[in-house]
A and B are shown apart, each in its own frame.
Chain A
């Protein structure tokens, strides 16, 4: 292989320019082994593509502050990159320069992350490769190597809690437990090359990438202006940021533990509206779960309740709608959706009750039929016993 023939060098000296200490050297064997599976190696690039040749056949690692520019010499060249992938993006450097990492690096702070920190130096893989450190299932661990390390974060006055908080979130559950690779990770909200914490004014736009309907309702609601006026980051006030829990109906309320209780008290007019909203949510949940339990009982007894299941499905859709409509902070559309959900849940309940009535009818019919059959069997038995003994 050409990489191995790059000279008699036995080590690649990777001098990091971190203040006070140097990165460990990458051995030639380790670098060449990793490079075999590297997207650049597979594309025919060699060591000299990234490394300047040092004296007596050694390759010096580029200074950390120069890594981004070195990568960008190809990755920002649209004409060059098109030869490998006509669809590939070439704006990574521009984005990086706007990021906190890029700005610190440009200021000469080598502790900031650069390309190789996230993508690796010699084993670079495509993002869609599940082994890539920036693949959806790995990217939080990759970010967490620095952002979850209190020692590294302390000099910047940053908390190292976010990766751990994210791991306890509904988003992490979707990604890890359900394997939904579209579930948001660090880069979904902060960006990747242009990684920056979203500001108060832009956080709603970030959430709206996925939660579009909720965002639209909120933007059209009177709450938006109020939150803007008091400088609160819209979605975060109720949902938090990294540890975003699965929302529940109990969030709506003025009792302790409810989300609304942070700002509203039961005695106010808004408190009464919140209580009314919660009551409707609870009624709908009770109706839906009651109908679901009844239909399940009927099904376990062997009854076919397809129409009830359809009605229940409709009720659940209205329930989802009504929960979304909470973000409109307007009683009318919410009540309409909740009422429709209650009506559909009622139909499901009726179907379940009809199935159970039919089941009782069948069992009563069987009891009567069994009695008649038993009576007939007894009669037959008596008749057989009374038959004259057959001649030998």
Chain B
């Protein structure tokens, strides 16, 4: 008995292959944006692989974290490569997830019946940011230590629960070894478990509903059915996906070699914060926004108002498909999305310019 037959007898292998063979993907002038979802998933898989390798040597305590990362990059064969790829892939994953989100937003791919696909995808973006935040402190270097202190401080502006939330995130009143252990737990156990479940749901929903075709292309197709072609998933779409993934590997290898992720100086909790402390680039827009908010807005704490507005924006974005039903409303959302993207970009540029000597 062949292996294929042996497996077929026990698993629905043929059914899966048949489904993929018959699965078709729309092919039109915007279909290049479909590949960002696959690239984000591929980068997540790279993170899982490289993260597992780093776990073999990493020690999550204030006394040993920095030294263990130093050991990884200087003593472990190809440890420098693994760590650099992990750090760069994290950044590319955030960028790819944002590109995927905004492409879905602008192509109106969140409309019925893909509401849950959007919600699970947006939750995955928030999880990606949480991965970035929790992983940032793990090398226990000077920059990450003080950036985490500043980042967790922001939560304190939330009334009633702010102080408790800060203590929950830090595992105490200040950023200490307890914070490191706590964020490590989130980074390698809790967040991956939630992310895996959400990715499975997201992929299931994509498989269930197929790729969305933008309304403009659909309108064109109603007049001319040949305007929207489709290609087989196997092998046409998969080979194109593979092409994109391979290009991502090439970019990652070049970044890791020419710009190895710096380790910096070990964190000293008793030292004054060095100048120019700032979070990762994907949090810069929020960081810069908070800097420009006046101390009080309408009699309320300005920072709280800004954080509340960002929170409301995130909740609104999460529930977007449930709030927007008509084509006119979707058009308004497109403009709001463009304005949000412009605002985030401008704030990021401002923050980067402020950080230059």
A residues with CB within 8 A of B: 302-304, 306, 362-363, 365-366, 369-370, 373-374, 376-377, 380-381, 383-384, 387, 390, 392
CA distance A387 to B235 in the complex (A): 8
Q: Chain B contacts of A363 at CB under 8 A?
A: 257-258
Among A365, A373, A376, A384, point to the contact of B240 (Cβ < 8 A). A384
A304-B73, A306-B70 known; A384-B239 Cβ under 8 A: yes
Other A-B contacts than A363-B258, A381-B243, A390-B229, 18 sampled, CB-CB below 8 A, are A302-B259, A304-B263, A306-B70, A362-B81, A363-B257, A366-B257, A366-B258, A369-B253, A370-B250, A373-B246, A376-B246, A377-B243, A383-B239, A384-B236, A384-B239, A384-B240, A384-B243, A387-B239
Contact A302 B262 (CB under 8 A): yes
Q: Chain B interface secondary structure, helix, strand, loop or mixed?
A: helix
Contacts of A377 in B (CB 8 A): 243, 246-247, 250
Residues of B within 8 A of A370 (CB): 250, 253-254
What are 30 residue pairs bridging A and B, where the CB atoms are less than 8 Å apart in the complex?
Answer: A302-B258, A302-B260, A304-B70, A304-B80, A304-B263, A306-B74, A362-B80, A362-B257, A365-B257, A366-B253, A366-B257, A370-B250, A370-B253, A373-B249, A373-B253, A374-B250, A377-B246, A377-B247, A377-B250, A380-B243, A381-B243, A384-B236, A384-B243, A387-B235, A387-B239, A390-B24, A390-B27, A390-B230, A390-B236, A392-B226
Q: Within 8 Å CB of B27, what residues of A?
A: 390
Expressed in whole angstroms, the Cα–Cα distance for A32 and B94 within the complex equals: 69
Q: List A contacts of B258 (CB < 8 A).
A: 302, 363, 366
A363, closest chain B residue (CB): B257
Q: List residues of B (221-263) whose CB comes within 8 Å of A's CBs.
A: 226, 229-232, 235-236, 239-240, 242-243, 246-247, 249-250, 253-254, 257-260, 262-263
Question: For residue B80, which residues in chain A have a CB less than 8 angstroms away from its CB?
Answer: 304, 362
The residue that B242 contacts in the complex, of A306, A365, A380, A390, with Cβ under 8 A, is A380
Q: Which of B74, B232, B254 contacts A390 (CB under 8 A)?
A: B232
Compute how far the CA of A40 lies from the CA of B231 in the bound complex, rounded to whole angstroms: 95
A370's nearest neighbour on chain B, judged by CB, is: B250
Q: Measured between alpha carbons, how far is A381 from B247 in the docked complex, in Å?
A: 12
9 A-B pairs with the lowest CB-CB distances in the bound complex, closest first: A302-B260, A366-B257, A373-B250, A390-B231, A380-B243, A304-B74, A384-B239, A362-B257, A377-B246
The closest CB in chain A to the CB of B262 belongs to A302
B235 → chain A, closest Cβ, in Å?
Answer: 7
CA distance A280 to B150 in the complex (A): 51
Q: Is the CB of A380 within 8 A of B73?
A: no
* Chain A nearest Cβ from B286, distance in angstroms: 29
B residues contacting A by CB (< 8 A) are 24, 27, 70, 73-74, 80-81, 226, 229-232, 235-236, 239-240, 242-243, 246-247, 249-250, 253-254, 257-260, 262-263
- Using Cβ atoms and an 8 Å threshold, which residues of chain A touch B232? 390
A315 CA to B83 CA in the complex, in Å?
32
Q: How far is the CB of B237 from chain A (nearest CB, A)?
A: 10
* CB atoms of B239 and A392 under 8 A apart: no
Cβ–Cβ < 8 Å partners of B74 in chain A: 304, 306
CB distance from B77 to the nearest CB of A (A): 11
Q: Distance in Å from the Cβ of B230 to the closest Cβ of chain A? A: 7
A374 contact set on B, CB distance < 8 A: 250
Q: Choose from A383, A387, A392 the contact partner of B229 (Cβ within 8 Å).
A: A392
Give the shortest distance, in Å, between B64 (CB) and chain A (any CB). Answer: 16
Q: How far is the CA of A303 from the CA of B257 in the complex (A)?
A: 10
CA distance A374 to B250 in the complex (A): 8
Question: Closest residue of chain A to B257, judged by CB?
Answer: A366
Nearest opposing residue in chain A for B242, CB measure? A380
CA distance in complex: A366, B80 (Å): 13
Residues of B within 8 A of A387 (CB): 235-236, 239
- Determine how close the nearest CB of chain A comes to the CB of B154; give it in whole angstroms: 31
Nearest CB of chain B from residue A365's CB, rounded to whole Å: 8
**Shortest CB distance A309–B (Å):** 12
Cβ–Cβ < 8 Å partners of B231 in chain A: 390
How far apart are the CA atoms of A356 and B1 in the complex, in Å? 56
Q: CA separation between A132 and B74, bound complex, in Å?
A: 54
Partner of B246, one of A302, A303, A365, A380: A380
CB distance from B224 to the nearest CB of A (A): 11
Complex Cα distance, B235 from A328, in Å, reads: 83
Q: Which residues of A contact B257 (CB under 8 A)?
A: 362-363, 365-366
Nearest CB in chain A: distance from B174 CB, A:
28
- Across the interface, which residues of B come within 8 angstroms of A369, CB to CB? 253
Assess the B254–A366 pair: CB atoms within 8 A: yes
Q: How far is the CA of A384 from the CA of B263 in the complex (A)?
A: 41
Name the A residues within 8 Å of B236 (CB-CB): 384, 387, 390
Q: How far is the CA of A366 from the CA of B249 in the complex (A)?
A: 11
A98–B263 CA distance with the chains assembled, in angstroms: 61
Q: Across the interface, name the chain A residue whose C-beta is closest to B231.
A: A390
For the complex formed, measure the closest distance between the CB of B221 and the CB atoms of chain A, giving whole angstroms: 12
A365 to B253, CA, bound (A): 10
Q: What A residues does B254 contact at CB under 8 A?
A: 366, 370
How far, in Å, is A194 (CB) from chain B's closest CB? Answer: 41
List, in ascending order, chain B residues with CB within 8 A of A384's CB. Answer: 236, 239-240, 243
| Chain B hits for A381, CB < 8 A | 243
